[in-house]
Amino acid sequence: MGKHEKFSPKAVANKIKSKGLQKLRWYCQMCQKQCRDQNGFKCHTTSEAHQRQLLLFGENPNQFLGSFSGEFETGFMDILRRQYGTRRVAANQVYQEYIKHKDHIHMNSTKWMTLTGFCMHLGKAGKAVVDETEKGWFIKYIERDPEEIRRQETLRKREKVELDDEERIQKYVTDQVDRALDETTPVAPEFSELQRNEDEKVAFTFAPAIKREEVDPADPSIPSTSGQLPSSSQEFKVPLKFNALQIAAAQSRASSTSRAHSVAKSTTSSVSVGKRKSALEEIKEEEERRKRQKELQVERKDYWLCKNIIVKVITDRLGPDFHKRKGVVKDVLDRHTALVQILDSDRVVKLDDVHVQTVLPAIGRAVMVVNGAYRGEEATLESIDEARGSTIIRLTTGSSKGQTVKGVKYEDISKLVA
């Protein structure tokens, strides 16, 4: 019976039924055919096409088993390396991610009958750290690419520098707050016990009293001075006979002294208020800086390739003709693979994202944000901070156009094709 015509109701119904994963026991790896039920699989095994594939398999079974096993291991290790890196993860979790693809290599067509046997093979081959627990088998990828190891080491050093800077800033802000609180909080006086020897004599001294000569109140040459004498802190002798000018001069000196004390107090209070305000402002600035850093970490992905950006080839597996050459990303095939055209040539190569790195242009040139909160937007490179491994950019497209973003890492931006 022939196939139904394309886009006919029966053909569309069969397409819908075959969408997604089916049962593994009704899949033929040699023919790469998925059957929906037991009857369909039985009809397939009796077909002439399947018999021919079995004859080919019988002539050289080791070749087919080795090919299927190699493809299965390559796909499994790619998912482990890309999605989980060097983290410890359950082997079954990685396997579930692998079988999500409809056209994957099934384990029943490889030389490993169970996932346990495959995990033991990875441990013996030294490709992963394998351990068995009560919750199942756990594996951790072992990174052997020297370029990737150097790249991860560089990232760890940058993160350590940023962490040290944050701790130093946090300590500085904490010291400022404590100092501001100390200036506003009155310090209670501390009293100690009187300690002396029994043979020692205790002597008390008093300030000498101001000697005032007696004044005859009935003397008409002396005016009345009630309530107009200076305070007791101003020590000076009052003459027996003085005129109105001398009294006015004394009052002037006393008032100027009191004004000086009030001005000094107001100046001290204003300085302390100013210090408290500066400490609060520093705290606000620190919170805003942390908020901007959190915004940059939002929506970070494990893939970053975009069209029309310039990248640099860092792998030497393609030979010296491509090593450390720059190219333009012409097309992105999937999340981690792209077609790159080498500059000054017509050669186009298919590269993985771990084999290339971003390129920083000169200050003032156009870049594209390839990862983070502003992924896919164009910007202008304002400055580069080599000590922290970050940059400052000004967005030129999108809803945040004109905004200046600080602390953008090198690997989050790349040079844009002019």
Q: State yes or no: pLDDT of 403 exceeds 60.
A: yes
Mean pLDDT of all residues belonging to the chain: 76
Q: Which 3 state secondary structure label does DSSP give 371?
A: coil
| Helix (H) or strand (E) segment spanning residue 246 | helix 244-297
- Residue 283 covered by a domain: no
* Cα pseudo-dihedral 68, 70, 74, 75, rounded to 10: 10
Q: Which 3 state secondary structure label does DSSP give 185?
A: coil
- Residue 199 covered by a domain: no
Same domain, 126 and 167: no
pLDDT, mean of residues 262-267: 50
What are 184's two structure tokens? 């506003």
**Position 383 confidence tier, pLDDT thresholds 50, 70, 90:** very high
pLDDT of residue 151: 73
- Residue 272 covered by a domain: no
Q: Tell me, what DSSP letter sits at residue 222?
A: S
Q: Which of 147, 136, 143, 123 lies closest to 80, judged by CA?
A: 143
Same domain, 379 and 319: yes
Q: Which of 323, 303, 305, 307 lies closest to 417, judged by CA?
A: 307
Q: How do residues 270-288 score in pLDDT, each as one tens digit?
A: 444 444 457 777 777 777 7
**Listed residues 112, 141, 170: the one ending a domain:** 141
pLDDT of residue 169: 82
Note whether 234 and 254 are within 8 A (CB): yes
- Residue 187 covered by a domain: no
| Helix (H) or strand (E) segment spanning residue 62 | helix 61-79
pLDDT of residue 256: 53
**Position 183 confidence tier, pLDDT thresholds 50, 70, 90:** low
Q: How do residues 116-151 score in pLDDT, each as one tens digit?
A: 989 988 888 888 889 888 888 899 888 776 676 777
Q: State yes or no: pLDDT of 311 exceeds 90.
A: yes
What are 341's two structure tokens? 């055209």
Q: Which 3 state secondary structure label does DSSP give 180?
A: helix
Q: How many Cα atoms occupy the beta-carbon half-sphere of 59 within 13 Å?
A: 5
Which of 105-114, 159-168, 385-394 is predicted most confidently?
385-394
Same domain, 27 and 101: yes
Q: Which amino acid is at 65?
A: L
Q: State yes or no: pLDDT of 40 exceeds 50.
A: yes
Residues in Cβ contact with 210 at an 8 Å cutoff, skipping those fewer than 6 apart: 235, 237
Q: State yes or no: pLDDT of 328 exceeds 90.
A: yes
Same domain, 84 and 112: yes
**Listed residues 141, 167, 189: the one ending a domain:** 141
Note whether 416 and 381 are within 8 A (CB): no
What are 414's two structure tokens? 């790349």
Same domain, 45 and 84: yes
Give the CATH number for residue 387.
Answer: 2.30.30.30
Q: Which of 159, 153, 150, 148 lies closest to 82, judged by CA?
A: 148
| Helix (H) or strand (E) segment spanning residue 379 | strand 378-385
- Residue 234 covered by a domain: no
Same domain, 98 and 134: yes
**Listed residues 179, 200, 233: the one ending a domain:** 179
Same domain, 99 and 155: no
- Residue 244 covered by a domain: no
Question: For residues 342 and 354, what is the distance between their CA atoms, to the nearest angstrom?
Answer: 17
Same domain, 56 and 170: no
Q: Which 3 state secondary structure label does DSSP give 138?
A: strand
Same domain, 343 and 397: yes
Give the CATH number for residue 75.
Answer: 1.10.10.2030
Q: State yes or no: pLDDT of 315 exceeds 70.
A: yes
Helix axes 48-59, 61-79, angle to 10 degrees: 90
> What is the greatest pairwise CA distance in the chain?
148
What domain range is 169 assigned to? 149-179
pLDDT, mean of residues 36-54: 84
Question: For residues 250 and 209, what is the distance between their CA atoms, to the nearest angstrom?
Answer: 19
CA 20 to chain centre: 37
Question: For residues 118 and 120, what is the distance between their CA atoms, to the nearest angstrom?
Answer: 5
How many domains does the chain fold into?
A: 3
Q: Which amino acid is at 4?
A: H
- Residue 390 covered by a domain: yes
Q: State yes or no: pLDDT of 381 exceeds 90.
A: yes
Q: Which amino acid is at 306?
A: C
Q: Which amino acid is at 92?
A: N
Same domain, 105 and 160: no
Q: State yes or no: pLDDT of 395 exceeds 60.
A: yes
Same domain, 314 and 366: yes
Same domain, 133 and 154: no
- Residue 294 covered by a domain: no
